[in-house]
Amino acid sequence: MKKRIFLIILLLLSIIPVGLAAVESTVSTLKIHYYRYADDYDAGWNIWLWPLAGAGEQVNFDQADSALVKDDWGVVATVDLTAAKYSGVSSIGVIFRKGAWVEKDIDADRFITVPAASEAGILNVYFVEGDERMGYSPTDPNGPDRSDKIKSAFFSKENEVTFKLTAALLAPDLALYEDGVLLSTTMVITKNTGKITLGKNVDFGKTYELRANFTSGLKTYDVTFDGIYDSTAFEAAYGYDGNDLGAVATDTGTSFRLWAPISASVVLNLYDTGTPATMGGSDTKTSTIEMVKDVKGTWKYASELNLHGKYYTYTVTNGTKTFETIDPYAKSAGVNGIRGMIVDFSKLNPTGFTYDSRPDNIDNPTDAIIYELHVRDLTSHSSWTGPEAYRGKFLGLTVEGTTFEGVSTGLDHIKELGVTHVQLLPFFDFGVVDETQLTDAKYKLDGIFNWGYMPLNFNVPEGSYSTDPYNGTTRVTELKQVSQAFANNGIGLIMDVVYNHTGLSADSNFNLIIPGYFHRLTASGAFSNGSGTGNETASERYMVRKFIVDSTAFWATEYNISGFRFDLMALHDVETMNAVASALKAIDENILIYGEPWNGGTTTLPASLAADKVNLEDMPDVGAFNDDIRDGIKGSVFNATEGGFVQGGTAEKILNRIKYGVVGGIDFPGLDLSDVSYETAWHTSPTKTINYVSAHDNNTLYDKLLLSTTFAQRQYVDEMQKQANAIVLTSQGIPFLHAGVEFMRSKPAISGGYDSNSYESPDSVNQLRWDIKARDLNKSVFDYYKGIIALRKAHPAFRMTTAAEVIENVDFVYEDKTGIIAYTISNYANDDTWGTIMVIHNNGNFLQLKLPAGEESWNLVGNSNQVSEEIIKTYAGGATLSILEHETLILYQGLAEVPTKKGCFGGTAILPLAVLGLGVLIIKRRKH
């Protein structure tokens, strides 16, 4: 009996799979194995991991007893895939980095495919330093190779190659080839690095290959030209100055030209669709055409057909590598910006659209009042009642006539506010939002929003803002409708541009076409990261500068753009910014050019070249944001609880930084500049000074005030909200307002508190809430902003254009009073109709001031409740003036009987002639 039972057990075991213990189950754990040749894992190396289209996070390698856990491969990082952010994700991005982006191992983004199930629910993935491949087992034939290799090889001089190996070799084990022919060279090798000297200068038209005989076998490496892109020889050979790069379609045909000077071949691919097969389209090419190499490293092809509406890419071969990529000069694209679209703009202009039709609403930069807005924010909340199909889209910006509970919303709100320009956050194709998921309910809640500071296609409108991202013509036509609608309402459109870096690094189209040229590299060959996003562009190079100039001129001309705000402008060089300004001023002298005079990390650009605060004086037509007045008014943006003047701060540093903005960023007699950036008047002119207190970055002004005030002060937050920008709007310079600041906009964080970095937070955080504007208190703040904007536009004394004018006409007064910043603008400044204007900002308790004595009376036109040209109260000279807590007062005396300067806003200038105390008599005059 026992024997029979034993035989039955053996029989059962024989039919049970041997791998019973290896039954697959749902993947719950990811193990990332990483190998470095020098075993230097403890030098700060970690992993940046993110679910596809989701937010990234730092993942550290596993440790036990404070030591790194190692296996037979290298170090290991364990990731819980049941965590909410990874649950159900099929693709996970991975970057190996040193510290917080000090260095990256492999600049290209790589993605781990997560299967539905794996052995024991664990997914193992294997990586090797310097190898783009990944393996799903240690022996994966498609995985990385741990054997020794050449890490880098590049021309460091026109006759010199610098290289780095993973292991030391002797000279006989290394050889340099030119187009497959062995070169006679001399070498100097120190351990695993060295230099090879050629007997002649490099021939840019040929390919160079370094071969190394390691004990594990022969390895090869295509030598790059990274180190000599800045040489005069390279620029002389390949500096192309033509205006026909990209695809140009007309009724007489279509021409193509690509700058690819080191490429062995370039193939033009034509498609009927811009949608790849993986996204529901087709990968069938209607034509593949070998392009012809032409002058200055360009490749060309011309067709007799107008190919408008067709899609195209280039297949570029550099050395042993071939890539298909989109044209950097593409003017439109298919879904997700993968294929460029050939555009004949004459076929896409909306009815009534005319070129060079920017609104004629300023005579000088200081006439501008800039309003910063995100495309989605204006219309994403349910209190915007326009067409649902336009919500969060370009077309939503064009809708007029919307209201909510009696208040204007959308475009009508902007019109009512009275600003002259709207600066839209990036609306080029930024490639972060997945345009194939725009109708997915979950994606609309937590994936569709992004600020857009990761450029993909610089000359293409963003597809997620169009009503049809699959059709490249739609985004073009709809963006032109925005420009047209703004112009029709007297509003200039300013474009927020991000030429300082590319969203992708090694796998960006620029780098695939000419590796290493468009980006700055460090001495180790890694991408320089002054942007804080992984790379920075080399604007000082001839063809990078040309691209930036060509691109801004294209937008200004084709879309009637009225201004450009440069992100991280200090990463650009002065010469490039001046070239941009020169090109744009030739199109329209009133186009505004300004930017952030700082960077986002450590850059390899020499400080002497940077378009930053120190060198702003060398850029006469370029303005910059004034963070001195910003932090003086509300406190540091890097410390949420730190207050400034409006919260009651009285320190000299606070007062001096604000006064610097009040006078328009100039060297003003008696003003202590020791508390200002670099202890100098770095703006040099009011026309270059962008005064502001809040922007899309950091907390909204309202949230900052809540975070930086005591419980007792909270009752005055609305007054602080008004006073903060009363300072900006009565200062010399160019005022800049963050959308929603005029009705106390807040950004409540999903996790509680306030969101200070909402770049990819959902609409619920970022949207402008018109239901909040409709509340009595918020509506009163809006009315205040509207009034003071109108006052600034009516009075050129607030808008002087030179340092000499400001010095002649502005005086600070009541400087002995604590908590007061006050100043007069005299002499009918800038041909104003008011003789002397006095502005008094009180940041503290109720107080009384004695007005200057004299026969002439003072007329109060602005207090904490209202600002307008209507006289609230008249005071005799020498009378006592009462000022409430956190109140700004605006007074004037003297009134010109005959206006001497016509207005520049709207079709007429409204000029008071005066019957004091009896209201205001007005006349209308034609605009000159």
pLDDT digits (tens, 9 = 90+) for 677-690: 999 999 999 999 99
Annotated catalytic residue 405: no
Q: Could you give the residue ranges of the DSSP H alpha helices within 521-641?
A: 542-558, 574-587, 627-634
Counted residue by residue, the chain has a size of 928
Confidence category of residue 601, pLDDT binned at 50, 70, 90: very high
In terms of C-beta density within 10 A (0-12 exposed, 13-18 middle, 19 or more buried), how is residue 251 classed? exposed
Output the CA–CA distances (angstroms, integers) from residue 328 to 110, 239, 556, in the order listed.
Answer: 22, 17, 18
The predicted structure's pLDDT at residue 904: 52
Helical axes 410-417 vs 776-794, angle rounded to 10°: 50
C-alpha atoms less than 13 angstroms from C-alpha of 557 in its C-beta half-sphere: 13
Mean pLDDT (the chain) is 93
The CATH topology of domain 150-228 is Immunoglobulin-like (2.60.40)
Determine which of 290-294, 608-612, 923-927 has the lowest per-residue pLDDT on average: 923-927
What is the pairing mode between strands 75-80 and 29-35? antiparallel
Residue 925 has a pLDDT of 25
Spot the catalytic one: 209, 596, 612, 763.
596
pTM, rounded to two decimals? 0.90
**Does position 899 have pLDDT exceeding 80, yes or no?**
no
Dihedral sign (CA 671, 675, 678, 683) = negative
Share of the chain above pLDDT 90, in %: 89
| Nearest-angstrom CA–CA distance, 60 and 736 | 42
Q: What is the DSSP letter of 315?
A: E
- Looking at CATH, the fold of the domain delimited by 365-497+739-794 is given as TIM Barrel (3.20.20)
Write down the catalytic residue from 429, 434, 567, 755: 567
What is the CATH T-level fold of the domain 24-128, as seen in this structure?
Answer: Immunoglobulin-like (2.60.40)
Q: Which two tokens stand for residue 319?
A: 């050395």
Res 18 pLDDT > 90: no
Mean pLDDT, residues 715-739 taken together: 99
Q: Which helix (H) or strand (E) holds 213?
A: strand 208-214
Kindly tell me if the per-residue pLDDT of 921 is higher than 80. no
Separation CA 384–CA 395 (nearest Å): 13
Confidence band for 916, pLDDT divided at 50, 70 and 90:
very low
CA pair distance 554, 428, nearest whole angstrom: 12
Banded pLDDT at 10 (limits 50, 70, 90): very low
Average pLDDT on 784-795 reads: 99
Give the mean pLDDT of 435-462.
Answer: 95
Q: Where are the alpha helices (DSSP H) in 401-505?
A: 410-417, 441-446, 472-488
Same fold, 150-228 and 365-497+739-794: no
* Domain 245-347 in CATH 2.60.40.10: yes
Q: List the beta bridge partners of residue 837.
A: 825, 892
Give the model confidence (pLDDT) of 392-444 as tens digits: 999 999 999 999 999 999 999 999 999 999 999 999 999 899 999 999 999 99
Instruction: Please state, in angstroms and rounded to a whole number, the distance separating the CA atoms of residues 500 and 296.
Output: 25
Local confidence band at 53 (pLDDT 50, 70, 90 cut-offs): confident
Q: Which of 421-425, 447-451, 916-920 has the lowest mean pLDDT?
A: 916-920
> How many helices (DSSP H) and strands (DSSP E) are in the chain?
16, 51
The span from the CA of 645 to the CA of 643, in Å, is 7
Annotated domain spans of the chain: 24-128, 150-228, 245-347, 365-497+739-794, 809-926
Q: Is the pLDDT of residue 33 over 60?
A: yes
Q: Which residues pair with 372 in a beta bridge?
A: 423, 738
Active site residue 372: no
H-type alpha helices, 362-446:
410-417, 441-446
Over residues 97-133, the pLDDT tens digits come to: 999 888 889 888 899 999 989 999 999 999 999 999 9
Residue 790: per-residue pLDDT: 99
Specify the pLDDT at position 320: 84
CATH classification (class only), 809-926: mainly beta
Q: In this predicted structure, what is the pLDDT of residue 897?
A: 67
